[in-house]
Amino acid sequence: MKSQLYQLSATELSQLLQSKKTSSEEVTRSFIENTERLEGKLHSFISYDPEYTLSQARASDQRRREGKVRGPLDGIPVSIKDIISEKDQPLTCGSRFMKDYRSPYDATVIEKLKAQGAVLWGRLNLDEFAMGSSTEHSAFQITHNPWDLASVPGGSSGGCGAAIAAQQTPFALGSDTGGSIRQPAAFCGICGLKPTYGRVSRYGLTAFASSLDQIGPMAKCVEDTALLFQAIAGYDESDSTSLSEEIPHYTQALQASPSPKRIGIPKEYFPQGMDTEVREAVESAIAFYQKQGHEIVEVTLPHTEYAIAVYYIVATAEASSNLARFDGIRYTHRSPHSNAIDVYFRSRSEGFGEEVKRRIMLGTYVLSSGYYEAQYIRAQKVRTLIRQDFLKAFETVDVLLTPTSPTTAFKIGAKIEDPLAMYLNDIYTVSANLAGIPGISIPCGFSKKNLPIGLQVLGQFFQEAELLQLAYVFESSHDFHVRSAPLS
């Protein structure tokens, strides 16, 4: 049993702990040992500290002996994308700028996990400052996909996706600015949820694009995703964008059979030339829901064609502003020059990678005099139209079904020299961030090369319970989520 603990879901591990058939220390050691066995090939983690993690596990076991269990997460390892602050732990954001930085405080989501007894296990790799779709833009290493080591795991939460798929961790917290939870989930054959904007506190998340960023759960199955989401959702007065909405019991909602839904299929998400295997897998999933008694309705989201352009104007503008704080003066990397201007320019040129520089320059350009109204303001107006497209669609349907990504995982290096090709990989995910609606990705099939294919379910504001429920219905009738990646 002990050697197989890392193969179990978080829900199963929680049940074993509650019945005292194992201990948190045994569970944690199992994941540590599996990580050390695979990490040399995967590079999922930027850093981890086994002794720090085991000390948390031992504390959980002591609470359990004393009858002071804090909840279903008590004693379960949770890994963290290295862009979320954890006190006294590294916070690199995948950047040379931050390589020696340690956070002085806990993000609100970390406070919540600690309060519930979760065992925080390692810092996961990402594209620098979450800017990328492949985890090739990390300053430290390239993460490999456990289903094919020559392929990317997606991005920017690629370390999260790879670590879960390879059973190095039961689940993880990622962040999603334009698909950075859902696309790696699709590429790695796991589940990833981007909550409604404002549903989860962003306090302690290093900002990329503040009006788009959202922290969310990633896990090997829907039930685990709901379990972790339950722990982090809720209002936070420390986050000015946090919204006070009632939090349903997400794990209980999974057990109820969903009432018949009107499911919308956006015709813009199924263009000519779409990858045939992705189309077939998603259409098979649509047919499944129809057989379950749900009504399938074609809808239109007419401004979808502008989503990528709008996203890369709004996101880069906000990135330019947010990353201005990294100046080499106050903290993090500082170039060894005495002249303040040289320190500023050289620190930024030395500390930031090429993709981050590209986005800062683009954002600065669209915010500059003479281009602000022509580019940024116009993009914000079209963003409103994209949001209205969704609102209009949701007047007639309950949810939308789409592919998560137009392709399966691509080869490492295939798109790194072509930024536009890389950006277009987010074509099915960015709109949800622009509109602020929730979305979930679950595996719905595999290609002939045994690479996972993702199904995306998009819903109305704060209807994550409905998305989880529909995803669970599909998952319960298929075995895609229980298949093991070859490396695992």
Annotated active-site residue 357? The verdict is no
Annotated active-site residue 156? The verdict is yes
What integer pLDDT is reported at residue 334 of this predicted model? 66
When pLDDT is cut at 50, 70 and 90, the band that residue 337 belongs to is low
CA–CA distance, 431 with 306 (Å, rounded to integer): 9
Q: Which of 44, 85, 156, 201 is catalytic?
A: 156
Class of domain 2-261+397-482: alpha beta
Residue type, 311: Y
Q: Which residues contact 283 (CB under 8 A, 6 or more apart)?
A: none
pLDDT, tens digit (0-9, with 9 covering 90-100), for 173-215: 999 999 999 999 999 999 999 999 999 999 999 999 999 999 9
Two tokens at 230?
């339950």
Range 431-453 average pLDDT: 98
| pLDDT greater at residue 397 or residue 4 | 397
What integer pLDDT is reported at residue 2 of this predicted model? 46
Residue 148 has pLDDT above 70, yes or no: yes
CB 116 within 8 A of CB 70: yes
What integer pLDDT is reported at residue 151 of this predicted model? 98
Mean pLDDT of the chain: 95
Tell me which long-range contacts 333-337 makes (C-beta under 8 A, separation of at least 24): 333/96, 333/97, 333/98, 333/99, 333/100
Range 326-339 average pLDDT: 72
What integer pLDDT is reported at residue 1 of this predicted model? 40
What integer pLDDT is reported at residue 258 of this predicted model? 83
CA–CA distance, 68 with 65 (Å, rounded to integer): 8
What integer pLDDT is reported at residue 329 of this predicted model? 73
- Closest by CA position to 135, among listed 26, 267, 45: 45
Residue 430 has pLDDT above 80, yes or no: yes
Residue 105 has pLDDT above 80, yes or no: yes
Domain borders along the chain are 2-261+397-482, 305-382
Q: Which of 14, 44, 85, 180 is catalytic?
A: 180
Residue type, 264: G
HSE of 459, CA atoms in CB hemisphere, 13 A: 22
Give the residues across from 457 on adjacent strands: 401, 440
Antiparallel, parallel or unpaired: β 215-219 and 191-194: antiparallel
CB 69 within 8 A of CB 22: no
Q: Dihedral (C-alpha) 400, 294, 230, 129: value to the nearest 10 degrees?
A: -20
pLDDT, tens digit (0-9, with 9 covering 90-100), for 245-257: 999 999 999 988 8
pTM of the model: 0.96
> Whole-angstrom distance between the N-terminal and C-terminal Cα of the chain?
17
Two tokens at 132?
């990328």
CB 287 within 8 A of CB 424: no
Range 230-238 average pLDDT: 98
pLDDT, tens digit (0-9, with 9 covering 90-100), for 36-73: 999 999 999 999 999 999 999 999 999 999 999 999 99
Q: Which of 24, 30, 79, 81 is catalytic?
A: 81
pLDDT, tens digit (0-9, with 9 covering 90-100), for 379-405: 999 999 999 999 999 999 999 999 999
- Closest by CA position to 265, among listed 283, 278, 292, 280: 283
